[in-house]
Amino acid sequence: MGIFDFLKSIGKKEGAIKTNPTPTKCGNSMPTVKPEKEIFECYDEVFKTMISDISGLSENEAKEIHSIIKKCEGGFLNMGGYHSIVWERYFRGRDWKWNEYEEWNSRFLKIGKFPTNFPQKKVLTPEKSEEALGQLKVSELKSICTECQLSIPSKTKKTDLVDILKLIPNITNQSLVSQKVEELDDRFRHDLFSLLMRTINFRGKNLYDLRRSEKVGVKKFKILYVFEEDKEFVEMALKLKPNALHPVFPSDMSMKQPVIEF
């Protein structure tokens, strides 16, 4: 869940968001208020830096992606207008890597703990095999049991079938299981792609807000935390890179707020 979804849910709980009784059109239409061109310039700057950090994309493909986003109605602000197109054409089914994410994943693995909502990269473990088995139908699980020459009572529960099969060595070599494992991997890659797009989006907006605040003479900022338990990770990131734009690591939901001094 993104920061704006989070704040929206709070507003609903507190009755802060009022619904409009007049029906509105759904879709990818953008607000009629035209944003300042500087916000798009900030996004372009962040996009250029971050897209170069993606292994598996050529320079021409990066330019094509940027063009798709810029030509979309509302540009980068209308993420729904380009998200699926970019995923299908340039990321789905391809071998790509977000190096910044990989570095943070390795760092968090090393210290043995992760921030809230950080997408942990799963390797082929017994837990992952069990997750894949759990997504199969009972009939499919019984079919695997037959292939493995296991005698199973007809009324065996699904949980029992999973418990039995997960103990079999190389169970992921079974076609039904390997297919589910691939689906889990594809889902993770899609979620990671979505996080990449949101991170570029938020950093572009953050850069714009930061420069706008500096123009009016703001020199002091404080950090607001959606999850207080993530404070140590944010401090770690800022120690490594003091001028990092928020999100300071993938999935970070902290925000930099201007402090007006009198």
DSSP percent split of the chain into helix, strand, coil, nearest 5: 60, 5, 35
Mean pLDDT across 205-220: 90
DSSP secondary structure string for all residues of 8-62: HHHHHHTT-SPPPSS----SSPPPSSPPPHHHHHHHHHHHHHHHTTEET--HHHH
Mean pLDDT over all residues of the chain? Answer: 84
Q: What is the pLDDT of residues 50-95, one digit of tens each?
A: 999 999 999 999 999 999 999 999 999 999 999 999 999 999 989 9
pTM: 0.73
Q: How far does Cα 209 stand from its chain's mean position?
A: 22
192, 160 Cβ separation under 8 angstroms: no
Q: What is the pLDDT of residues 126-163, one digit of tens each?
A: 677 788 888 888 888 888 888 888 888 878 898 988 88
Residue 26 has pLDDT above 50, yes or no: no
**Which of 11-20, 134-143, 154-163, 184-193 is predicted with the least confidence, judged by mean pLDDT?**
11-20
